[in-house]
Structure 1
């Protein structure tokens, strides 16, 4: 992978557009990226990583990529041109951007954008490959063969990370190497083996638990027949299967012996039960025959007692049979008599509704009178239509009268309202003008109200500040007095101390040492302190009190000045008027404004009222004209109706006769026709039923005489209804059946013979049979229980045997997986160094890295140091990731954490370069033509720096270019190709020079 060109816009500290030509910088193989701290050296490397992977290295993720120095309309963008795997590509990345809206105020967020293009040498132009973030990320990762973490560790060699790597423990090294070499598949193997072990262990334990549960079920099924208890074992314990199967064999043999004994006992009980049942049957038969004979004797006695009633019932049945021949004549006579009574009643009722002139008329006369009335009724149909038309004419005339009265009322109301229209309009116009004047007045008062309120507030502040000024002035006077007293007190004490200063000096004199005043070494008469002597501490306390009082005076004077300035400002705004007068003026303005505003609020209502009144005037004028037109057209219609009514009245006078109307006359005739017709029909039916009644009486008398009855009434009394006839016949049949049954029983030979024997003892026989049956049931229950026990034990033993057979392969699989899992996890006794599988793989990679790093480390250290990989355990931890350095000068091997600062730098640099080679080979051999080394050169002396630069310069032998990121001044003299980052107030800029071009 070789970088060609990097273009940066509004990225990191770069506010504008910056471009880096890596082809020019890489011409000499070694170039320097330098600049002051915070200028943005690392941001150039961040831009490379962002262009490739769409994000910056892990430690700098999460922050904003946009430059704070960029213009609002400039979008953040990074473009990188590179060659990888023989393909020249161009990557462009734009992070999300909050830009100003094109129309209106505010901002809008643009989504992130990505472009991938490839240079087509044959066409001499770029062609687009993709604009998808995901597709571009997959393509770059596949081409480079490295993830973002690997790229940042291999191409952007961070020396600080490798210095920590040299001093880290095995666990920290394992995390870093795991990220670089992606050993997650080996960790997944460890995890998968652990999961398989847990799963197999779960299956084995589940099988043991199931087997042990079957053992407990067999123990429950066996009950107390086995004295030996079930072994006290848990799932997973050795020998569980053998113990359960041995106990099951003992339980099965014992249960079969118990079943044989129960079978023999049941057979004996069944034989005894059969004998007892045979005796019971014989006793029951004798008892039954004895009961049968006794019951027959009792039934015969009861028949003898009811013999008289039986003979009476037979005589009653004979009379009823004779009366059945007369029954049809009796029914016919009763039906005819009932029909005649109904017809006579109907005739009497219909004749009562007629007039007396028809009282003696027969059926023929009544029918003739009905025909005559019907003919008169048919002649009234034309008069009915005329009478109905008169009613319609009357209704129409009433409607015209109501409409005429309504129109007259409308004309009157419209005339009255229109007469008052001018006054109404003038009044509404006046209301509108008054409301408009009030609105203008309210606006003027609103303008005056705000200054008046401000002056009132300023006046109230003026009054308050006047009182505060007096109080502040009083505090200043008091503070000034306290400060003067404190100063006088301090000066007095100072003067007193100066007077007694000799005693203070004398207190420090020592014989043989020179005096600080005169220089003498002898002190024959030193001064002594007198009572009330003022010392240095007392004077300093008084001075401090004076200083505090003076500071308090200064503060009070400052406060007085602030209050006076505020008072002057409030007085200037409020003027000279008293606060009360200003309050009255403000209240008067407020009241007048409220009145004007209230009056102005009626402007809209007054305008609406005027518009509504104008619409009402138009409506009333239109209604007035329409009513006048209707009044004119209604007069001709009224005259036509009156003429038609007069012509119809003459025709109706003749048709009504004495009735009030034609309808009333027609109703009278219809009723008369109906009554006469009904009376004629009733008279004919009554005469017919009277004749048929006479015929029925004659036939009834003849039938009764032939049946042997003296009168028809006697025959009617002998008749029986269906229910009485069935009841009497049932009693006669029951008597005969009972008599026959009793004679049959008393004639049986067996029954008669049993009656001659002693009474049978049925209770004793039943008790003996019941006891025998109970013994059989008990024996059967015991046999069934023994059989069920044997069956259940056989079933559970078969099931336990199947469980043991299934557990064999599972236990073998568990042992095999458990050995592999513990070996891979480093907890097995066979794993002497306690190395996990992932650690073992990482140890192999670390050994390769140490070998590749040693080649460069020996050149940097003039052959002194060699990196070696160690499998030794560190304390109680696991082994495999140890890294030691061999010092050729001492011949001793020591830990890399003991290296000095400079030694740590070139050791970590060698480790980083070796790691880059190994990771490159691991990633599929992708050639890395451009590397960056970040900082750390400041810790080297001149000789070591020369050696390190020689090693880096040797990388050019493989056609590589190395960029050093440093601010060491000596490197600027040694490396000619440079990329300088210059920072300023408007953002950083890039300056490129000293390259091949």
Structure 2
């Protein structure tokens, strides 16, 4: 893959269109991408990644990517666009991508959102030699373009960002990371998710198989508990519960133990069932005999009670004989009085009607004037007719009075309308008088707000730039003190390391000087000397005062190494602080922070003032629009009110003439009343009262005549029925309830008398009465005891039969469950062995290494071998990267990475490397990983690489060695881009792409190798 051209428009910090010619930059094979911090160096690489994959690397991507990628410096009508021309797999392609864009509407105000767009074109060479060729459209689908690019490159976006855009800082962290963090990075690059998926799938199958086995075991054990409950001895039975085997769900021998236990339980249940059936037969025979004896005793007792009850009832009838004769006499008197009942009812109804009519007449006469107190019914009716005739003559006067009221209401309404129009005209005149001044003032406010908005935009750019300089100045001031402190610590650490080194060398020389005495200390007579081999030791050397032994020397060596490591750590910290200080100084120059803070505060105050004034622009415009609408409304209302005043005078004159004529007509019709309606109501009330009184007088006269006739008829009916007076006849009458009560008493007495005679005449009852009293309690007790014994025996037999049937059924179900469980347990054992082996927890897995870790370890070994080829050259043959399979954490093998130091011959962890050594190792690791991932992706040739930062930690000699290695990368027409702001690289690398930032956005400046 080779990059040719890149065009960036309104992307990231680039507010305008920027063109980058990678062919010119790559002419010498090595080019430098530099610029101040925050200028947009990384945005150039983001644009390349966005063109290829439609998203930017790492944390810079977001959910609202269109808004994230768009430059804040771009004009509102300029759309964000990235266009990349490249050659991959022998094909020259052009990819154009535009993220979603919120643009101003072409008509009206507001904004609208355009969707994201993508184009893919391929260059077709001309047929004739030297022809320019044409571009052919391939696709405008985001998904198709993404699939095409991924297939041609053979890499995902994550792999591309690690291989082509080498993030050297990430690999420095990779060197110091633990096995788990390395595994995550390698798994993302080499896509080992399928191996992790195999582990997860095996674990899921193991859990599923285990759940099935435990579920089947639990069901089998539940059936065993049911059988244990069913096998328990019933009431009155001999036997006891059989204990279940001591087993839990999941135990291999559970099924065999349960089946064996079930066979024993079934045998015992059958024996208990046979015993229970024999006991039931005996109890049934005893219960039948007791029941027959009880029936005989109950029959004797029933006949004796029957005869005794008949005698008691005969005695009670004799006691009530006198009362029975009185009831018969009373019913006879009532029968005679029934002939007088119609006359009594008629007289009572007539008396009630007369009383009611008399009261109504008195009430009606009491409401009439005193002049009608002695008038009869005829006189009252005549007076009512006269009042009705006078009332009929007032109909026309009522209509005139109603019309007069309408005229008064219309006149009052005209007065209200006239007053409202006068108020409206006065208010409109007053408001319109101030209109010109109000409109002028609002227009001036709008112009002032517009000027404030323009000044706000200008001040915002100045404030952002000055704020960045202020932040950089504060970091510069803070880092100045930290750099001095770090320098002092580094110098002290170097001096301490030098003293520790000198001390160790001195002790080593002293030990070598007295090494003979140290060897002589181990000589034994007769044993050969380790140096000369002699067995005689006549004059062995003696240790001098202050002799240095081996332990002392090794302690000094360890102290020297600790001091050296501390010095290297302090140097790295000092270099990091100096790099940050240089970046902050470049951004803030030498301007004091206090001066910058005062400038920022002044700008912020001016910006806030202008922004507040500009924020009121919309409100002032709305106020002016409302005022203009109010002006139009008031002018229209003023004109309409003037027209209504002119037309209202003629209507008022016509109403006044009509009102005068109606008033004269009504003066005669009202009489002495206030209105015609009042006069008509008076006549209506009088006519109604007179009519009511006449009707009441006639009804009272009629009821008096009927009452006299009813009295005569009642006296005659009482005499004929044999009563002295009507009152005596009335007293002899019985109501229906009382008559039914007496008749019921007579019927009951007669029925009871017949029943008693029949009972006393029965021969069986009389014979039973002559026998001794029946022993009913003893017979019932004996029958109840026999029945209890039979029920208990039947219950025991039924329980024994149910236990036998339940045990047979549960045993059959347990046997079937055991047969189904066998293949499940075999499957569980097989899957468990595979899952634990892949997860690294099996005893067969000696290194305790997971399947994914095993694959990643092989990849890491390949990466370490590829990285060592370049690390040896960078470190002058000193360092070699090797993969380590040592066990870490929880006894499992991890993804260890060690470095072998050829100077000491020792192997140590990569986390112990110094700053410069870490850069060497991380760069070599990044390049090696790029080679391995490229081979993994299908061997696609990568002709353009980018290396990001890290060069500031190198001295001149180390930088030369690194550049030599990078020179080797550009062999065979490969180009390498270095992303850095190290000043020394600008002198060493001639082809440069500089990113310059400014208040209007960043721009690029390109310089070729020539």
Given the alignment of the two structures, is residue 753 of structure 1 paired with residue 750 of structure 2, yes or no? no
Given the alignment of the two structures, is residue 990 of structure 1 paired with residue 996 of structure 2, yes or no? no
Deviation of the 1:155 alpha carbon = 1.5
2-structure distance, mates of 1:307, 1:809: 98
For 2:558, the equivalent position in structure 1 comes to none
Query: Is 1:51–1:91's contact at 8 Å kept on the other side of the alignment?
Result: yes
Deviation of the 1:689 alpha carbon = 7.1
Pairing 1:822-901 to 2, within 5 Å after superposition: 822-846=836-860, 849=863, 878-879=892-893, 897=910
2-structure distance, mates of 1:876, 1:669: 121
1-structure distance, mates of 2:921, 2:399: 132
Deviation of the 1:837 alpha carbon = 1.6
Deviation of the 1:379 alpha carbon = 8.4
Given the alignment of the two structures, is residue 2 of structure 1 paired with residue 2 of structure 2, yes or no? yes
3-state SS of 2:286 partner: helix
3-state SS of 2:86 partner: strand
Given the alignment of the two structures, is residue 981 of structure 1 paired with residue 986 of structure 2, yes or no? no
Deviation of the 1:126 alpha carbon = 7.1
Deviation of the 1:347 alpha carbon = 12
Query: Is 2:401–2:666's contact at 8 Å kept on the other side of the alignment?
Result: no
Larger Rg: 1
For 1:763, the equivalent position in structure 2 comes to 777
Pairing 1:497-896 to 2, within 5 Å after superposition: 701=720, 730=744, 733-846=747-860, 849=863, 878-879=892-893
2-structure distance, mates of 1:718, 1:119: 132
For 2:134, the equivalent position in structure 1 comes to 124
1:211-250, Cα deviation, whole Å (9 max, x unpaired): 3344344444444634653333333333222223333333
Q: 1:753 to 1:143 in 2, by over 3 A?
A: same
Q: 1:24 to 1:716 in 2, by over 3 A?
A: closer
Given the alignment of the two structures, is residue 280 of structure 1 paired with residue 290 of structure 2, yes or no? no
Pairing 1:476-495 to 2, within 5 Å after superposition: none
1-structure distance, mates of 2:211, 2:326: 100
Pairing 1:126-165 to 2, within 5 Å after superposition: 129-130=139-140, 140-158=149-167
3-state SS of 2:972 partner: helix
Deviation of the 1:151 alpha carbon = 0.9
2-structure distance, mates of 1:3, 1:99: 31
Q: 1:975 to 1:75 in 2, by over 3 A?
A: same
For 1:183, the equivalent position in structure 2 comes to 192
For 1:209, the equivalent position in structure 2 comes to 218
Structure 2 counterpart of 1:930, from 941, 944, 949: 944
1-structure distance, mates of 2:669, 2:324: 98
2-structure distance, mates of 1:672, 1:868: 134
3-state SS of 2:843 partner: coil
For 1:83, the equivalent position in structure 2 comes to 87
For 1:550, the equivalent position in structure 2 comes to none
1:798-846, Cα deviation, whole Å (9 max, x unpaired): 4443443333232222212111111111222333443322123334444
Deviates more, 1:837-846 or 1:298-307: 298-307
Deviates more, 1:136-145 or 1:307-316: 307-316
1-structure distance, mates of 2:745, 2:75: 129
For 1:260, the equivalent position in structure 2 comes to 274
Query: Is 1:860–1:951's contact at 8 Å kept on the other side of the alignment?
Result: no
3-state SS of 1:174 partner: helix
1-structure distance, mates of 2:243, 2:791: 31
For 1:461, the equivalent position in structure 2 comes to none
Deviation of the 1:919 alpha carbon = 2.3
2-structure distance, mates of 1:303, 1:15: 129
1:9-35, Cα deviation, whole Å (9 max, x unpaired): 67778787543222234456x233265
Q: 1:664 to 1:954 in 2, by over 3 A?
A: closer
2-structure distance, mates of 1:779, 1:734: 52
Q: 1:679 to 1:139 in 2, by over 3 A?
A: same
2-structure distance, mates of 1:950, 1:177: 27
Query: Is 1:226–1:251's contact at 8 Å kept on the other side of the alignment?
Result: no
Deviation of the 1:737 alpha carbon = 3.9
1-structure distance, mates of 2:162, 2:830: 40
Q: 1:227 to 1:644 in 2, by over 3 A?
A: closer
For 2:309, the equivalent position in structure 1 comes to 295
Q: 1:677 to 1:120 in 2, by over 3 A?
A: same
For 2:265, the equivalent position in structure 1 comes to 251
1:420-479, Cα deviation, whole Å (9 max, x unpaired): xxxxxxxxxxxxxxxxxxxxxxxxxxxxxxxxxxxxxxxxxxxxxxxxxxxxxxxxxxxx
For 1:52, the equivalent position in structure 2 comes to 52
Given the alignment of the two structures, is residue 20 of structure 1 paired with residue 23 of structure 2, yes or no? no
1-structure distance, mates of 2:195, 2:894: 15
1:905-952, Cα deviation, whole Å (9 max, x unpaired): 888766655543442343345443323345769776799679746743
3-state SS of 1:757 partner: coil
3-state SS of 2:248 partner: coil
Q: 1:926 to 1:700 in 2, by over 3 A?
A: farther
Query: Is 2:303–2:765's contact at 8 Å kept on the other side of the alignment?
Result: yes
1:562-587, Cα deviation, whole Å (9 max, x unpaired): xxxxxxxxxxxxxxxxxxxxxxxxxx
1-structure distance, mates of 2:730, 2:888: 137
Pairing 1:325-336 to 2, within 5 Å after superposition: 330-331=340-341
2-structure distance, mates of 1:40, 1:746: 131
Deviates more, 1:684-693 or 1:12-21: 684-693
Q: 1:624 to 1:988 in 2, by over 3 A?
A: closer
Query: Is 1:248–1:793's contact at 8 Å kept on the other side of the alignment?
Result: yes
Query: Is 2:337–2:732's contact at 8 Å kept on the other side of the alignment?
Result: no
Pairing 1:957-968 to 2, within 5 Å after superposition: 960-963=974-977
Gaps of 5+ in 1: 354-368, 415-618, 649-660
Given the alignment of the two structures, is residue 239 of structure 1 paired with residue 253 of structure 2, yes or no? yes
Query: Is 1:18–1:989's contact at 8 Å kept on the other side of the alignment?
Result: yes
Deviation of the 1:3 alpha carbon = 0.9
Q: 1:116 to 1:762 in 2, by over 3 A?
A: same
3-state SS of 2:6 partner: strand
Deviation of the 1:4 alpha carbon = 1.0
3-state SS of 1:955 partner: coil
TM-score by length of 2: 0.57
Kindly tell me the number of residue pairs found equivalent between the two proteins.
739
Query: Is 1:13–1:68's contact at 8 Å kept on the other side of the alignment?
Result: yes
Deviation of the 1:77 alpha carbon = 5.9
Pairing 1:453-472 to 2, within 5 Å after superposition: none
Query: Is 2:340–2:714's contact at 8 Å kept on the other side of the alignment?
Result: no
Query: Is 2:357–2:696's contact at 8 Å kept on the other side of the alignment?
Result: no
For 2:524, the equivalent position in structure 1 comes to none
2-structure distance, mates of 1:348, 1:67: 110
For 2:31, the equivalent position in structure 1 comes to 32
1:689-716, Cα deviation, whole Å (9 max, x unpaired): 799789x66x975x87xxxx99999999
Q: 1:200 to 1:710 in 2, by over 3 A?
A: closer
Q: 1:765 to 1:118 in 2, by over 3 A?
A: same
Q: 1:687 to 1:89 in 2, by over 3 A?
A: same
Deviation of the 1:268 alpha carbon = 1.9
For 2:498, the equivalent position in structure 1 comes to none
2-structure distance, mates of 1:793, 1:662: 107
3-state SS of 1:7 partner: strand
Query: What is the Cα-based RMSD across aligned positions, in Å?
Result: 6.5
For 1:366, the equivalent position in structure 2 comes to none
Q: 1:742 to 1:138 in 2, by over 3 A?
A: same
Deviates more, 1:625-634 or 1:729-738: 625-634
Query: Is 2:31–2:992's contact at 8 Å kept on the other side of the alignment?
Result: yes
